[in-house]
Amino acid sequence: MKVTETGFPGLKIIEPVVYKDKRGYFFESFNLEKIRNAGIDVNFIQDNQSSSRYGVIRGLHYQKDPYSQTKLVRVLYGIIYDIAVDLRLNSPTFGKWFGLEISDVNNLQLLIPKGFAHGFSVLSASAVVYYKCDELYKPESEAGIIYSDPILQIDWKIPPGKEIISKKDQGLKYFNEADNNFIFNDI
């Protein structure tokens, strides 16, 4: 397993070792011991999976403290553009976003720490996204930022007019209005 720093404190790209031969491939998608040996102290307790078609943008979602979530995102099928926005006050990357193309071919995973909003767009005909969380879903803690926020200016890599957004996500707040209680603690 290779862990790459992103320049955002705590936000990491995880690349598993993939063994390929004429039969196909094999890799460990998660190994707690290896994660901990890489200096990542997390205890995942919930797995989520979604299926979406081209043009779908999900997010930007997060849960406020004390139920904030660390997520480990990967793609089982297709290609997504995964986005993480740093919401931690006093963070050197506060208000900035990071994007990574994740697919069933590159097998990359994105470790998104507590204090980030998360979303993704689907770049292939369809995609199945799977992610682990270290905190259970709590509806009373749910919050979000609208995907089209003019301050963030996220390029979702979907042409204008081709976006598919849920009514719920269309009603999310702007970055400067977001209900956010995250404080950066040097990791």
Question: Which are the catalytic amino acids?
Answer: 61, 131
3-state secondary structure the chain: CEEEECCCCCCEEEECCCEEECCEEECCCCCHHHHHHCCCCCCCCEEEEEEEECCEEEEEEEECCCCCCCEEEEEEECEEEEEEEECCECCCCCCCEEEEEEECCCCCEEEECCCEEEEEEECCCEEEEEEEECCCCCHHHEEEECCCCCCCCCCCCCCCCCCECCHHHHCCECHHHCCCCCECCCC
